[in-house]
Amino acid sequence: MKPPITEIDIKTADGGFYDGFTTHVTITAKLIIGALIVWAVAFPEQAGAFLSNINSFILAFFNLWYIYAIALFLLTCFILAAVPSSGKLKLGLDHEKPEFDNFSWFSMMFGAGIGIGMLTFATAEPLYHWQSNPQTIQGITTESGADNVRAAYQWSFLHWGLGAWGAYALAGLGLAFFSYRRGLPLTIRSSLTPLFGDRMAGRTGHVVDVVAVVATVLGVAQTLGFGVEQFIAGLERIGFGSWLTRPDGDGGTTSTTAGIIFALVVIMGASTLSALSGVGKGIKWLSNINMGLSFFLLAFFVIFGSTFFGLSALFVGIWDYLVALPGMLFTVWDADAAGVEGELGDWQAAWSVFYWAWWIAFAPFVGLFLARISKGRTIREYVLGALIVPSLMCFVWFALVGGTAIDLELSGTADGAIVGAGQEDQLFAMLAVMLQPALAWIFSVIVVVLLLTYLVTSADSAVLIINTINAAGDEGPKARPHILFWGAALGLVVGSLLIGGGLSAVQTAMVIGALPFSVVMVLMCVALFKAVYRDYKREQQGIPTLYDPAQPAE
Residue 37's pLDDT band, with cuts at 50, 70 and 90, is confident
Q: Give yes or no for a contact between 390 and 109, defined as CB atoms under 8 angstroms apart.
A: yes
What contacts 51, CB < 8 A, 6 or more positions away? 505, 508, 509, 512
Tens digits of residue pLDDT in 263-308: 888 888 877 776 666 555 555 666 677 777 888 888 999 999 999 9
Cα dihedral across residues 446, 449, 452, 453: positive or negative: negative
What average pLDDT does the chain have?
86
Percentage of the chain modeled with pLDDT above 90: 44
Number of helices and strands (H, E) in the chain?
A: 23, 2
Amino acid residing at 384: L
Q: What is the pLDDT of residue 249?
A: 64
Tens digits of residue pLDDT in 388-426: 888 888 899 999 999 999 999 999 999 999 998 888 889
Tens digits of residue pLDDT in 137-160: 999 999 999 999 999 999 999 999
Task: Report the alpha-carbon distance of residue 119 to residue 233 in Å, rounded.
Answer: 12
Task: Report the alpha-carbon distance of residue 36 to residue 290 in Å, rounded.
Answer: 32
Nearest to 424 by CA among 123, 204, 104: 123
Domain spans of the chain? 23-540
Task: Report the alpha-carbon distance of residue 293 to residue 305 in Å, rounded.
Answer: 17
Cα dihedral across residues 455, 460, 465, 466: positive or negative: positive
- Structure-derived torsion over alpha carbons of residues 528, 351, 45, 248, reported in degrees to the nearest 10: -140
Residue 553's pLDDT band, with cuts at 50, 70 and 90, is very low
Tens digits of residue pLDDT in 310-357: 999 999 999 999 999 999 999 999 887 888 999 999 899 889 998 999
Task: Report the alpha-carbon distance of residue 352 to residue 365 in Å, rounded.
Answer: 21
Nearest to 88 by CA among 100, 77, 96, 80: 80
Q: Give yes or no for a contact between 163 and 329, defined as CB atoms under 8 angstroms apart.
A: yes
Q: Give yes or no for a contact between 208 and 520, defined as CB atoms under 8 angstroms apart.
A: yes
Q: Give yes or no for a contact between 134 and 352, defined as CB atoms under 8 angstroms apart.
A: no
The torsion region of residue 238 among left (phi > 0), alpha (psi -120 to 50) and beta comes to alpha
Collapsing DSSP to helix, strand or coil, 181 comes out as coil
pLDDT at position 459 over 50: yes
Higher pLDDT, 540 or 479: 540
Task: Report the alpha-carbon distance of residue 234 to residue 224 in Å, rounded.
Answer: 15
Residue 115's pLDDT band, with cuts at 50, 70 and 90, is low
Task: Report the alpha-carbon distance of residue 425 to residue 73 in Å, rounded.
Answer: 34
End-to-end CA distance of the chain, in Å?
A: 18
Residue 203's pLDDT band, with cuts at 50, 70 and 90, is very high
Nearest to 37 by CA among 508, 496, 514, 482: 496
247 membership: H or E segment, kind and range? strand 245-247
474 membership: H or E segment, kind and range? none
Window from 134-148, 180-194, 451-465 with minimum mean pLDDT = 451-465
Could you count the other beta carbons within 10 Å of the beta carbon of residue 223?
29
DSSP one-letter string for 264-295: HHHHHHHHHHHHHH-IIIIIHHHHHHHHHHHH
Q: What is the pLDDT of residue 193?
A: 94
For the domain 23-540, what is the CATH code? Answer: 1.20.1740
Tens digits of residue pLDDT in 352-377: 998 999 899 888 888 887 888 899 99
Nearest to 519 by CA among 69, 54, 188: 69
Q: What is the pLDDT of residue 25?
A: 93
What contacts 392, CB < 8 A, 6 or more positions away? none
Nearest to 168 by CA among 372, 469, 472: 372
Per the DSSP assignment, residues forming a β-bridge with 246 are 254
Collapsing DSSP to helix, strand or coil, 62 comes out as coil
Residue 53's pLDDT band, with cuts at 50, 70 and 90, is confident
Window from 80-94, 325-339, 474-488, 529-543 with minimum mean pLDDT = 474-488
Rg of the chain over CA atoms, in angstroms?
A: 23
Query: What's the pTM value of the predicted model, to 2 decimals?
Result: 0.90
- Structure-derived torsion over alpha carbons of residues 518, 199, 186, 31, reported in degrees to the nearest 10: -70
pLDDT at position 554 over 50: no
Q: What is the pLDDT of residue 301?
A: 92
Task: Report the alpha-carbon distance of residue 377 to residue 363 in Å, rounded.
Answer: 20
Q: What is the pLDDT of residue 545?
A: 87
